[in-house]
Structure 1
């Protein structure tokens, strides 16, 4: 991304997890809430599967079911169904169990600058969420600033596949060269978007481990979304 290319930008697509909020603590809180619910509603499952074991069951399903591995919601549903079934509880409880998890998964703590930066970015550009995860931007406080969202679950393929980036461009009625994608993952976000013809900024927050990867040479990077708004020339306040 060069200063000369900034005038070409007509919209921004944004990754969600680890771009707008840290995902690990959110998932852990949701897993604790899920296990507390299971302790009351499905005690045999709660006894047989602690938080770590439920996570391992989720990973097992993702590995054994490549047909649904891109769909984090379906993977979580299926892993809960199997855990309930194997423990002797009613597997039909998996739907309610997932809703407990999913509600808690949206109790997010944004990175400090994000709310103000998103407001600034949205004042100039249409924003679209583009995520391989199952977060629903409409269920967050940032929802009003976004024009739309595309998830790997809904679309059928995830980043770095060029098709999901091109679908975002199609929905924005723009060409890839007119869209900027921002995310934290080198492979999924930055290289995927670049290969699809979009402009990119790689979000490398303070504290990120150095990456010894020749593919990262020369990439445009920002340390936070406030810096991104500054680089795009959007005034604060």
Structure 2
């Protein structure tokens, strides 16, 4: 089906994804895992020896995701319990999971925003109420961008993750508008664009890698290659 045209006159609020939309997430996670591993070397050496690289830490996180599917939408709890599992398997004190996670979480907030992220958020927030909608556990206030947002909704706190329409509808309620008055912006074709479309919103897909649209039927109202291009679209 043809790409529907974006109707800017309908937009009364913006909802926007965080990870990989405003900053690249994997460099951040890789660094946080390295900091965690260094901490374990000093405080839980048996665990550090058993899980001696970030790939091993990621593997036990994936194991925990299989063991505890109920934690799928709460990445903080998933990471904390995966650390606890690693400590237990190595024979270290499981109670160390709390300070270990706190260290990891603090490092996870040290993101490097895309060059045009601040300008984009300033542009959007000057025109609309902006609501962050994320399946991740980034804290916009700890990152230092909280002043751009009317509200921030994470799957960890809300209990429901994208692409479920309920988290998108919660974003509309947080902005005090109806779903059809919201433009959702995000990098993930399924979680962001398709989810927003299913929720009755307009959607802009940020597709910097120029991937083909993976779903049949209605496409996003617009596809752009960058945040700067988004601002140009809305100017």
Bucket of the pairwise TM-score, normalised by the shorter protein: over 0.9
Quote the Cα distance in structure 1 between the aligned partners of 2:215 and 2:146: 36
Q: TM-score, normalised by structure 1?
A: 0.93
Aligned-partner SS, 1:16: coil
Using the TM superposition, give the Cα deviation of residue 228 of structure 1 relative to its aligned residue in structure 2, in angstroms.
1.0
Assess, with a 3 A threshold, how the Cα gap between structure 1 residues 175 and 217 changes in structure 2: closer, same or farther.
closer
1:98 aligns with 2:101: yes
**Would you identify which runs of 4 or more consecutive aligned residues in structure 1 move more than 6 Å?**
none
Assess, with a 3 A threshold, how the Cα gap between structure 1 residues 152 and 212 changes in structure 2: closer, same or farther.
closer
Question: Does the Cα contact within 8 Å between 2:165 and 2:195 map onto a contact in 1?
Answer: yes
> Structure 2 unaligned runs (5+)?
none
Quote the Cα distance in structure 2 between the aligned partners of 1:109 and 1:122: 20
Aligned-partner SS, 2:92: coil
Aligned twin of 1:48? 50
Alignment deviations for residues 55-92 of structure 1 (CA, whole Å, 9 cap, x no partner): 10001111221111111111101110111111111100
Aligned twin of 1:16? 18
Aligned twin of 1:154? 157
Quote the Cα distance in structure 2 between the aligned partners of 1:131 and 1:24: 15
Using the TM superposition, give the Cα deviation of residue 163 of structure 1 relative to its aligned residue in structure 2, in angstroms.
0.6
Assess, with a 3 A threshold, how the Cα gap between structure 1 residues 100 and 202 changes in structure 2: closer, same or farther.
same
Quote the Cα distance in structure 1 between the aligned partners of 2:78 and 2:154: 15
- After the TM superposition, which residues 79-228 of structure 1 pair with which residues of structure 2 at under 5 Å, given as runs? 79-205=82-208, 208=209, 210-211=211-212, 213-215=214-216, 218-219=219-220, 220-228=222-230
Quote the Cα distance in structure 2 between the aligned partners of 1:210 and 1:70: 26
Quote the Cα distance in structure 1 between the aligned partners of 2:217 and 2:23: 23
